[in-house]
Homo-oligomer: A and B are copies of this chain.
Amino acid sequence: MAAPRPGRAVRGSSTGRPLMAALDLFGRRWNLRIIWELRHGPVGFRALQERCDNMSSSVLRQRLTELLDATLVEQQPDTTYALTELGHGARRALGPLVRWSAEWAATLSAADPEDVPQGF
């Protein structure tokens, strides 16, 4: 399947509305994680794979292709991958989600004695 982009029919929506394209893109496994792991600068293929809990290299390549096509990620001359301006924007848009996840953890651990660790 082609990478989701606004203006393009995507999985689950034929309208091409930008939000639907975004929801499709981010609803694909590992895409959110990849953007998160690139937040601090360029990372090489194998290093990125390690940061993503050793996800499958075939899927990593596929996701990177999609993110390149969506212009959220670009490949540097030294072949490492980095967020574009747009990619950094997406990363910033994820900030509230990070904060929310902490709130989520706090709420659940208050209602439920499961062992919830610290940090993100």
Bound CA span A93–B111, Å:
22
Once the chains bind, are B8 and A114 in contact (CB under 8 Å)?
yes
Once the chains bind, are B96 and A95 in contact (CB under 8 Å)?
yes
Q: Please give the count of copies of this chain that the complex contains.
A: 2
Once the chains bind, are A101 and B19 in contact (CB under 8 Å)?
yes
Interface residues on A, range: 35 or more
Partner of A93, one of B7, B16, B100: B100
Bound CA span A100–B94, Å:
10
Once the chains bind, are A104 and B27 in contact (CB under 8 Å)?
no
Q: Which residues of B contact A26 (CB under 8 A)?
A: 26-27, 32, 97
Flag A81-103 by CB within 8 Å of B: 1 or 0 each. 00000100110111111111111
Which A residues have a C-beta under 8 Å from some C-beta of B? 5-8, 11-23, 26-33, 36, 52-53, 55, 70-71, 86, 89-90, 92-105, 107-109, 111, 114-117, 119-120
